[in-house]
Amino acid sequence: QLVESGGGSVQAGGSLRLSCAASGFTLDDYAIGWFRQAPGKEREGVGCISPPDGATYYLDSVKGRFTISSDNAKNTVYLQMNNLEPEDTAVYYCAADPTFFMTTGWRYPPYPYDLWGQGTQVTVSS
């Protein structure tokens, strides 16, 4: 099970940190991705982390603003979002993939991952 938290409403330029807590499995055995879906738009990949080696990957539009990290002791992956823009408004989801195909597949739909969190709303006002 994956549970996201940390969403909320901020003004442009603000920051939020989203958490994706795993239970029932060890994050180190999975690639973890962050995805978002804005109203009326398709879900898109924001980025991905491979906890065993710490490799991270990001959507071009969030590079330099968003950071994905993992805390194995807490079995939690984080998405630190700085300098938020109104275009970042969306429901954010995390997903887990034991095959690690996500480390390349996160960029392109579909996202055929079995483990998803429930999503957390991020709203950025101008």
Distance, in Å, from the CA atom of 31 to the CA atom of 104, rounded to the nearest integer, reads 10
Looking at residue 93, its pLDDT comes to 98
Residue 19 pLDDT class (50, 70, 90 cuts) = very high
Residue of higher predicted confidence among 52 and 79: 79
Residue 53 pLDDT class (50, 70, 90 cuts) = confident
pLDDT at 100 over 90: no
Distance, in Å, from the CA atom of 50 to the CA atom of 43, rounded to the nearest integer, reads 21
Q: Please list, in sequence order, all residues whose beta carbon lies within 8 angstroms of the beta carbon of residue 13, skipping any fewer than 6 positions away.
A: 83, 84
Structure tokens at 43: 């879900």
Looking at residue 34, its pLDDT comes to 98
Average pLDDT, integer, range 38-57: 94
Looking at residue 113, its pLDDT comes to 92
